[in-house]
Structure 1
Amino acid sequence: MEKLENFTIPKLNYTLPFYKRYVDDILTSVHLDNIKDIVDKFNQFHPNLQFTFETQNINSISFLDLNIININNTLRIDWFRKHTWSGRYLHFGSHHPLTYKKSVITGLVDRELILAKPEFREKNLKLVKKLTIVNDNSTKITILLPYVQGLSENLKGYLKKFNIKVVHKTQNTSARIFTRLKDTDPTMLHSNLVYKLDCLNCENAYIGQTSQHLKKRINDHRYTIKCKDPNKSALSNHSLSLGQKFDFDNPTILTHESNYQNWLVKEMIHISRNITCNKRTDIEHSSNLYAPLLHM
């Protein structure tokens, strides 16, 4: 928008008495004969940036929250509210902190004092007062109660006298009748983690990390062993070269981690603290200075 202004305004053959902009809303003053000219020049700047215009109506025009009134060639500022404005704010009887409710009143008064000229103050403050008065007679309270046959109907009719609406709910919901048929978060569906697989024939374990579901990573290990590829990983090398098996059905999740660098660090720590068949390259970036702490 700044580029548009610097490009367009100097090309005008007339002077703008004032020029105000907030984001892409612009307020200015030009002679009626120059309205089309200024709009055309602004729209020539870029095909995807096209403006429409609005002229004053009965000596006034709105700009953001301002109503700018022309009285004998002198501008007067009042608080503007759109025709779609409902006047609804936080209800004083709602379940919110008292400070929130007070801030609604303070905000409305501040808006009137800051935006409007003193000559409009009395009118606007009357409106604020009207908006913030709670009419207890017109306020209906709604409460939710369990349904009890024979009692709920009588209770509903009695509370109606006090402008209290009763809504009934049943206790026999499907969530209470049916139990969960499966785990919500089974181990094999975890991801972004460091894991351990124990060898069934010796004290060694394999420690790895994966961003995939653990089930997918374990299936990859099974596949490399099935394909007899000892170079794929330290796990496949240990299993194929020694004829040993890993406990793929009972993996241990050591930690969860979504950051890749933190993954590597945590994997190195767990490899250093366990008896593993992992290659030495898996911990080559760990410092010997931390070795005493890792084995505490």
Structure 2
Amino acid sequence: MESDPTPKYKRQLIGILSRLKKEKKIDDKQYKKLYPTADNVPRLYCTNKIHKEGNPVRPIVDYTGTIGYETSRELADILAPLVGNSVHHVKNSKQLAEDMASVFIEEDEIFNSHDVVSLFTNTPIDQTIGIIEDRLKQDTELKNRTNLDVTDIVELLKFILTTTYFLFRGDVYRQKFGAAMGSPVSPLTANLFMEWLEEKAIASAPLTCKPRLWKRYVDDVLEIINKDGVEDLTNHLNQIDPTKSIKFTYDQEEQGRIPFLDTLIVRKEDGSVKLLVYRKKSHTDQYLNFTSHHPLHQKLGVIRTLLDRKDKIVTEEKDREQEENKIKTALNNCGYPDWTIEKVKDQMEKKPTNKKPTKKHNNTDTPKKRNLAVIPYVQGLSERIQRIYKKYDITTAMKPHTTLRRLLVHPKDKREVVDTANCVYEIPCSGCKSTYIGETGRQFGIRLSEHKKDVDRACSRKYTRSERKVSESERNKSAVADHAARSNHLINWEESRVIDKEAVRIKRWIKESIWIRRRGMSNTMNRDEGTYNLSNLYNPLLQSDSRTGNTRSYSSRASSQL
């Protein structure tokens, strides 16, 4: 594309949202949530499919912090109940194992799997929107989920799906066909299209190649079909989509075995079926190392996940024992002592298999709000904080701060500092030690340019003595402009920098207040301590943090990039 379409698309989306608010189909809270404040351009990055020959890449568009991200999430919530209502839908491996328990396969039949080539980017958008519109019109529960009409939902969906663009290696591209991997609503649109396609394909398949079993997880299909019907079925499937963009490839069972999801389906001599855990050739048995700086419950969670998969997927006791031995060997190699495995097994055995039905609240009852605190994990300290929070009925989630992924994996194009949105920033003064702390949901460069214009406007005006006395009692729009004009100081635009990042507005306000408190009001140009009223209880902690110099920034010399 010759230019960045973000401003144009932003105006279009704001226009739609403003109309919906005016028509009272969304309230003020929803409007503010969906309103596009950040101007981040979606970025394309790729991940390698190391399990496939030639190591092809999977293109993914990073939509977080972009103008349509929140709208895409809202649409995904609205459309979610429409997905998975087909008898052919597979929710997960556990459901597949339950469905396969009663399956028998005849001698003249085989297991076969079909896979759609690049489903997301080949999904025909216009046709899919029509399919979704029909499903929404038939949905009797839609009014319980949203005040939006079907036409409103379709309008927003069409906007999101037809304005896919991204930045890659400095150039902006527009996606002409299909849905982008990375947009929250894309998986649902692709799924709904596949439900339509499979229904039509199965109903119209010739008897010679009609599958007796059809189970689908997104773009992967498992079938039981006559041995001679695979080629005919593949040709039939490839003719269903009018745009001819959807193409299927297939794999047949080998030696009576076929992988599907993370299961290995094995046909037995009597025609019955058993399931094992499937591991790809690229699998290395490398799990979270026990010596890694993570809380113990997360390490025990690794064990629990592996044992739970063994119990829910593997169908025969002898195979379960072999799978458990594999798990123990792999975990021991990752540093897990035997007592951790036994501890988890004991917990799983004591856990009741049937959950008690939850009590229904009366209409007059207010459901109890869950208090959750997410804290960075520091061994020894975080556990103590967790125990204190527990006394006050606060659940604690611990998040590792520094990970190998964060240090080593950087597949996306690096944004220039001035392009950083959803941030807290600092503007220093050249004539004194004062700094200005601010926050913005827009790009830092745009906000910095606004400050510069305010300062230039305030400092370029010529005053008489009497006018200057009057001007000193007046407030400029910007506190930075006030400081520059009243102190006759130059602002150090070159050293302006981003000091923190936060996409959630209320959290960003809190971080702004924390940084102002760290600097101290006497050392800042700010007129107040920020939008959020931070309690004075935090003062000892923030003062201690300031004395140790524990600060960080993402840039310096920002204005040179403007």
Contact 2:205 2:233 in 1 (8 A): yes
Contact 1:18 1:28 in 2 (8 A): yes
- Name the residue aligned to 2:204: 11
Which of 232, 249, 252 is matched with 1:37 structurally?
Answer: 232
Is residue 132 of structure 1 aligned with residue 405 of structure 2? no
**What amino acid does structure 1 have at the position aligned with 2:485?**
F
Alpha-carbon offset, residue 212 of structure 1: 4.4
Alpha-carbon offset, residue 4 of structure 1: 1.0
Alpha-carbon offset, residue 124 of structure 1: 0.8
Cα distance in 1 between the residues matched to 2:274 and 2:439: 62
Alpha-carbon offset, residue 95 of structure 1: 2.4
Q: Secondary structure at the match of 1:67?
A: strand
Alpha-carbon offset, residue 47 of structure 1: 2.9
Cα distance in 1 between the residues matched to 2:439 and 2:292: 43
Is residue 80 of structure 1 aligned with residue 278 of structure 2? yes
Cα distance in 1 between the residues matched to 2:234 and 2:293: 50
Cα distance in 1 between the residues matched to 2:294 and 2:467: 67
Contact 2:256 2:267 in 1 (8 A): yes
Cα 1:256–1:26 shift into 2, 3 Å: farther
Alpha-carbon offset, residue 24 of structure 1: 1.0
Alpha-carbon offset, residue 109 of structure 1: 1.1
Alpha-carbon offset, residue 22 of structure 1: 0.9
Q: TM-score, normalised by structure 1?
A: 0.53
Contact 2:211 2:226 in 1 (8 A): no
List per-residue Cα deviations over 1:251-294 (Å, max 9, x = no partner): 94335879xxxxxxxxxxxxxxxxxxxxxxxxxxxxxxxxxxxx
Alpha-carbon offset, residue 121 of structure 1: 1.2
Is residue 2 of structure 1 aligned with residue 195 of structure 2? yes
Q: Which has the larger radius of gyration?
A: 1
Cα 1:125–1:243 shift into 2, 3 Å: closer
Is residue 92 of structure 1 aligned with residue 290 of structure 2? yes
- Name the residue aligned to 2:221: 26
- Name the residue aligned to 1:215: 452
Where do 1:1-296 residues align within 5 Å?
A: 1-14=194-207, 15-44=210-239, 45=241, 46-72=243-269, 73-118=271-316, 119-133=318-332, 185-186=427-428, 211-213=447-449, 214-222=451-459, 225=461, 243-244=467-468, 248=485, 250=487, 252-254=525-527
Cα distance in 2 between the residues matched to 1:68 and 1:25: 14
Contact 1:69 1:75 in 2 (8 A): yes
List per-residue Cα deviations over 1:184-239 (Å, max 9, x = no partner): 7415886668xxxxxxxxxxxxxxxx94442222213456x47xxxxxxxxxxxx6
Q: Secondary structure at the match of 2:258?
A: strand
Contact 2:264 2:276 in 1 (8 A): yes
Cα distance in 2 between the residues matched to 1:43 and 1:254: 66
Cα 1:191–1:36 shift into 2, 3 Å: same
**What amino acid does structure 2 have at the position aligned with 1:65?**
D
Alpha-carbon offset, residue 83 of structure 1: 0.8
RMSD: 3.3
Contact 2:286 2:334 in 1 (8 A): no
Cα 1:97–1:5 shift into 2, 3 Å: same
Q: Secondary structure at the match of 1:52?
A: strand
Contact 2:276 2:314 in 1 (8 A): yes
Contact 2:287 2:334 in 1 (8 A): no
- Percent identical pairs in the alignment equals 25
Contact 1:192 1:256 in 2 (8 A): no
Q: Secondary structure at the match of 1:127?
A: helix
Cα distance in 1 between the residues matched to 2:254 and 2:427: 63
Cα 1:133–1:192 shift into 2, 3 Å: closer
Contact 1:109 1:125 in 2 (8 A): yes
Contact 1:191 1:212 in 2 (8 A): no
Q: How many residues align?
A: 183
Alpha-carbon offset, residue 74 of structure 1: 2.0
* Greater RCO (CA < 8 Å, at least 6 residues apart): 2
Contact 1:113 1:121 in 2 (8 A): yes
Contact 1:189 1:215 in 2 (8 A): no
Contact 2:311 2:320 in 1 (8 A): yes
